[in-house]
Amino acid sequence: MDQQTRPSNLFYLASLRRPVVDRAEGIYLWTEDGRRFIDGSSGPVAVNLGYSNPAVLEAMRRQMEKTTFAYRLHFENEPAERLATTLAERMPGGLDRIFFVSGGSEAVESCLKLARQWAVATGQANRWKVIARMPSYHGGTYGSLAVTGDGLLTDTFADQMRVMPTVPAPTAYRDRDNLSLEERGLRYADMLEERILAEGPERVLAFIMEPIGGAATGALVAPDSYYARIREICDRHGILLIHDEVMSGIGRTGKFLGGDHWNCRPDIVSLSKGIGSGYVPLGALAAPGRIVEPVLKMGGFQHGHTYAGNPLACAAGLAIMGEMDRLDLTANAAAMGELVLDGLRGLASRFPFIADVRGKGLMTAVEYADRETSALLPAEWKIGQRVLDAAYARGLIVYSRRVKGGVQGDYTMVAPPLIVTPEEVGEIISILGDSIEAVARELGLPVEG
């Protein structure tokens, strides 16, 4: 009986079944039937450190011999305190207060609830609207879905939550006008101010954005001018700027945070994925004392989870941060990211239907569209999914999804673990090229060279 027909009590997200994983090491996974896969996407862009790192496993063993759990209302624990200090030292702009959670959706939800409680505590209870981008993805809980710009994910639940207003994501590379990229960046940023004025500045609490786009926009990087103007607009209207760094943080883009590329100054940051790096469920929010202290004085943060600050998870996170430093993986992400981008640009020269190559560090993507007009390819082609499946059949895992109700954007994201080597980058690009060519031949698309 094969995996497709093997009975299972697990609730799978879709009818498609995958082979059973047996073990993993470095950037590779092996299945029970002996197949080897290169993880070219770090799972869902999460396994920054790679699999089976001995130092992390040993740190987890040591902590398990002490205790695997201590509830935060009953005890403090050393791993959580040390990890909080380690993260605070790396955060920009005095964001030195850390609150731990178990994942990215919880981290975003925590940021939203902290922002709202800060507004109430500072006499601004009329502020409650959080503006997000369309498309965007910030998580799967109701709170994080409320600021997710993707009707395919939110429409079913709209009656059970309050969907927040949006502004267009800065897809400046698609625009066909006489403006420079920097002028387009300012135009997209100014759309935020227009929305703030339309919603009523006194009612707008925050703007949430990914400095470098994740699942919804495939490594989208805005023009440089965008970031400073966004900060100016938020300051002008007394609005908090929340950076969702769940995917782009922890060295992934060649800086500790994605926003560090532009010296951005967020008010609150959400973190996850890379902190736990696939070893444990772990996430965090980071905020400054000026936001946290009024909330504490009002009676405390009205929020929490059973596993917040779990000592085993934090011991793993602390070891992960230590290995990131020891192996200088942020610098390696920057260097290997340049190799990946060079390889993707080479693929774009072969395949005219690759309209854009983008990203920072090891968070990169190619987008499929008409290069001359930016017109999207027919949705029924499902080219992103076809490339994903073709790569999977060749032993390479990449990341792809359609967004904005399934009608905007086909992309393939390449984001291997930060330990990747030049030789492994070469193998990833080679397999991806073969996979794209196979799909091109199947669809009758042009192939050059």
372-387 pLDDT, tens digit per residue, is 888 888 888 999 999 9
The predicted model gives 301-321 an average pLDDT of: 96
Asked whether residue 4 carries a pLDDT value surpassing 90, the answer given is no
Query: From CA 358, how far away is CA 344, in angstroms rounded?
Result: 9
Q: How high is the mean pLDDT of the chain?
A: 94
Asked whether residue 12 carries a pLDDT value surpassing 90, the answer given is no
- CA–CA distances in Å: residue 18 to residues 15, 153, 205: 10, 23, 43
Asked whether residue 408 carries a pLDDT value surpassing 70, the answer given is no
Confidence band (pLDDT; 50, 70, 90) for 409? low
Q: What is the pLDDT of residue 107?
A: 98
Asked whether residue 3 carries a pLDDT value surpassing 60, the answer given is no
Asked whether residue 36 carries a pLDDT value surpassing 80, the answer given is yes
Asked whether residue 6 carries a pLDDT value surpassing 80, the answer given is no
Enumerate the H helices of 9-129 as residue ranges.
42-45, 54-66, 78-90, 104-121
Q: What is the pLDDT of residue 101?
A: 98
Q: What is the pLDDT of residue 406?
A: 45
The secondary structure of 271-310 as a DSSP string is E-TTTTTTTS--EEEEE-HHHHHHHHHTT------TTTT-
Q: What is the pLDDT of residue 232?
A: 98
The predicted model gives 238-250 an average pLDDT of: 98
| 3-state SS, residue 26 | strand
Maximum pairwise Cα distance, the chain: 66
The predicted model gives 76-97 an average pLDDT of: 96
Q: What is the pLDDT of residue 407?
A: 53
> Which letter does DSSP use for residue 241 in this model?
E
> Could you tell me which residues are beta bridge partners of residue 134?
168
Query: From CA 430, how far away is CA 432, in angstroms rounded?
Result: 5
Cβ-based burial of 389 (10 A; exposed 0-12, middle 13-18, buried ≥19)? middle
Confidence band (pLDDT; 50, 70, 90) for 10? confident
Confidence band (pLDDT; 50, 70, 90) for 405? very low
Q: What is the pLDDT of residue 447?
A: 95
Query: From CA 24, how far away is CA 175, in angstroms rounded?
Result: 42
The predicted model gives 112-117 an average pLDDT of: 98
Q: What is the pLDDT of residue 264?
A: 87
Asked whether residue 2 carries a pLDDT value surpassing 90, the answer given is no
The predicted model gives 278-286 an average pLDDT of: 98
